[in-house]
A and B are shown apart, each in its own frame.
Chain A
Amino acid sequence: MKILYFAWLRTKIGVATETVDLPAEVRDVGALVAWLKTRSPKHADALANSTVVKVAVNQEHVPYDHPVGPGDEVALFPPVTGG
Chain B
Amino acid sequence: MTVKVQSEDFDVGAELAAMTGGKTGIGGVTLFVGLVRDMAGGESVSAMTLEHYPGMTERQLEAIEAEARERWPLDDALIIHRYGRLEPGDQIVLVATASAHREAAFESCHFLIDWLKTKAPFWKMEATPEGERWVEAKESDDTAAARWTKPA
Which residues on A are within 8 Å of B, measured CB to CB? 4, 6-8, 56, 59-61, 75, 77-83
Contact = CB atoms under 8 A, between A and B. Distances in A.
A7 B50 CA distance: 9
25 contacts: A6-B53, A6-B123, A7-B123, A56-B53, A56-B121, A59-B55, A60-B56, A61-B119, A75-B56, A78-B134, A80-B119, A80-B122, A80-B123, A80-B137, A81-B122, A81-B135, A81-B136, A82-B81, A82-B93, A82-B120, A82-B124, A83-B93, A83-B117, A83-B120, A83-B141
Contacts of A8: 134
A75 B120 CA distance: 13
B34 interface: yes
Contacts, number: 71
A81 B53 contact: no
B56 A56 contact: yes
A2 B149 CA distance: 32
Contacts of B86: none
A25 B38 CA distance: 49
B118 interface: yes
Interface residues of B, number: 28
A6 B134 contact: no
B69 interface: no
Contacts of B81: 82-83
A78 B136 CA distance: 8
A83 B51 contact: no
B56 A80 contact: no
B116 A82 contact: yes
Interface string B52-66: 110110011000000
Given A7-B134, A80-B121, A83-B117, 5 more contacts: A56-B121, A75-B53, A82-B122, A82-B123, A83-B34
A60 B53 CA distance: 11
Interface string B87-128: 000001100000000000000000001001111111111000
A52 B60 CA distance: 20
Contacts of A7: 51, 123, 125, 134
